[in-house]
Amino acid sequence: MIDNIFNGYGPKMRAHRKLLMPLINGQHLRNYIETFNKEACRYIDALSIKTDSDVFDIYNETQYCLADITFETLLGISGVAQNTGVLTVPHAMETKPGRAFKSATTTIHEFISKIINEKKSLYMALERGESKVEKPKPSIVDLLIENVIVTHAMDDQEILYDIIALLFGIIMKSTKSQKKSYAHDFMKPLVIDSIINGYGPKMRAHRKLLVPLVNGKPLTNYIKTFNDAVCRYIDALSVKTESEVFDIYNETQYCLADMSFETILGISGVAQSTGDLTIPHAMETKGGKTYKSTTTIMHEFISKIIDEKKSLYMALERGESKAEKPKPSILDLLIENVLVTHAMDDREILYDMIALFFGFYDTILGVFSFTILMLAMHPDVQNRIREEVLSIIGASDNVMLDNIGSFEYMDMVIKETIRLFPVGPIIPREITDDLQIAQVNLLVISFIAND
CA distance 103 to 100: 5
> What is the DSSP code (8-state) at residue 79?
-
Radius of gyration, CA atoms only, the chain? 27
Per DSSP, the three-state class of 16 is helix
CA distance 34 to 72: 12
CA distance 389 to 397: 11
Beta strands 427-430 and 448-450: pairing type?
antiparallel
Neighbours of 261 (CB within 10 A): 22
Neighbouring-strand partners of residue 428: 449
pLDDT for 431: 57
> What is the DSSP code (8-state) at residue 430?
E
What stretch(es) of the chain map to CATH 1.10.630.10? 10-178+432-450, 200-428
pLDDT for 89: 34
Neighbouring-strand partners of residue 437: 440
CA distance 395 to 200: 50
Give pTM, 2 decimals.
0.56
Per DSSP, the three-state class of 344 is coil
**How far is the CA of 296 from the CAs of 178, 191, 252, 293, 301, in angstroms?**
29, 11, 26, 5, 8
**Burial class (CB within 10 angstroms; exposed 0-12, middle 13-18, buried 19+) of 112:** buried
Q: Which parts of 26-98 fold into alpha helices (H)?
A: 33-48, 59-70, 81-84
Asked whether the CA dihedral 149, 152, 154, 157 is positive or negative, the reply is positive
Superfamily, domain 10-178+432-450: Cytochrome P450 (1.10.630.10)
* CA angle (348 as vertex; 445, 426 as ends), nearest 5: 35
CA distance 171 to 180: 14
Superfamily, domain 200-428: Cytochrome P450 (1.10.630.10)
Per-10-residue mean pLDDT, the chain, length 451: 60 75 70 84 87 76 78 79 57 47 73 85 84 79 86 85 73 53 57 59 71 71 88 90 84 89 87 80 62 79 90 86 82 88 87 83 86 92 94 85 88 89 68 54 43 48
